Amino acid sequence: EESTPRPVTIGSKKFTESVILGETLRLLALDAGHPSRHRAELGGTRILWGALLSGEIDIYPEYSGTLVREILAGEDLSSPERLEAALSARGVRSSASLGFENTYAIAVPEPLAQQLGLRRISDLREHPDLRLGFSSEFLERADGWPGLRQRYRLPQTRVQGLDHDLVYRGIAAGHLDVTVVYTTDAEIARYGLRMLDDDLGYFEDYQAILLYRAELAEEAPAAVAAFRRLEGAIDAPTMAGMNGAVKLEGDSEQTVAARLLSEGLGLE
């Protein structure tokens, strides 16, 4: 008698790209014959990582820099082997890059950037009165605002934490001057924001990856094989286009994920 395929639970963070990738994983698992559930917008990085360790979820989309600088901050990860070992000690495996980077960038509306001559993050040092608005997670992360402020010796004290989406509304409404964007956000172009050069090289490389529970390889090999078809399969403009389809054109994450599988990966 055939055993029923192991159900696969997918998680995603509270922003559009993560939900699109989560939906893509759900469809891939289904396609591989596994019942699958997507717990969309479960929370921030810490919540997703905890859910993965506890087995509440089996897999979620993450970013390499987040893994190294935030999740495993303080560990010796000086070689790929050490990173591998740190993950496997926790029963976790990582895919290769999905093919794109989504890093943090500091951004300013173009007219203001021109008026103040802002090109590099260092240039912010001369303008202590600027109003900063960052996603709440960035305000607290090891690779976020505290470190950025220290590295660049930034003097601003008007700093607000909001949901990532609200940051763009704050900029559009003129309530904020400077914000942190994710580089695959479709709003960067839409709102005419200038990304400042990270002249002191503060931000990490944030390649999109998949983190999954190691036992999935034995218990759901077809699903893992399907997930790994995403390795190298999505470039940054494609991801930004998908984010824009949801955020600016009103498509659903499900629709966009299904389109990626049929058009991008050639799956039905």
Rounded least distance, CB 182 to ligand PBE, Å:
4
- For ligand PBE, the closer of residues 45 and 160 by Cβ is 45
Rounded least distance, CB 63 to ligand PBE, Å:
5
Rounded least distance, CB 66 to ligand PBE, Å:
4
Distance CA 76, CA 70 (A): 13
CA distances from 205 to 21, 98, 143, 200, 209 (A): 19, 13, 11, 14, 12
- For ligand PBE, the closer of residues 220 and 246 by Cβ is 246
C-alpha 189: how far from chain center:
18
Beta-bridge partner residues of 176: none
Question: Which residue number has the CB closest to ligand PBE?
Answer: 66
- For ligand PBE, the closer of residues 162 and 226 by Cβ is 162
- For ligand PBE, the closer of residues 109 and 144 by Cβ is 144
Rounded least distance, CB 189 to ligand PBE, Å:
17
Please list the alpha-helical segments (H only) found in 220-261: 221-227, 236-247, 253-259
Rounded least distance, CB 219 to ligand PBE, Å:
27
Rounded least distance, CB 48 to ligand PBE, Å:
9
- For ligand PBE, the closer of residues 24 and 66 by Cβ is 66
Pick from 259, 229, 220: nearest CA to 20: 259
Beta-bridge partner residues of 259: none
Distance CA 148, CA 28 (A): 38
Residue 89, number of CB atoms within 10 A of its CB: 9
Footprint of ligand PBE (CB under 6 A): 13, 45, 63, 66, 102-104, 182, 206
- For ligand PBE, the closer of residues 32 and 65 by Cβ is 65
Residue 65, number of CB atoms within 10 A of its CB: 18
Two structure tokens written together for 138:
């960035």
Distance CA 28, CA 228 (A): 10
Please list the alpha-helical segments (H only) found in the chain: 16-31, 45-54, 64-66, 80-88, 110-116, 136-140, 145-152, 164-172, 187-190, 216-219, 221-227, 236-247, 253-259
- For ligand PBE, the closer of residues 19 and 220 by Cβ is 19
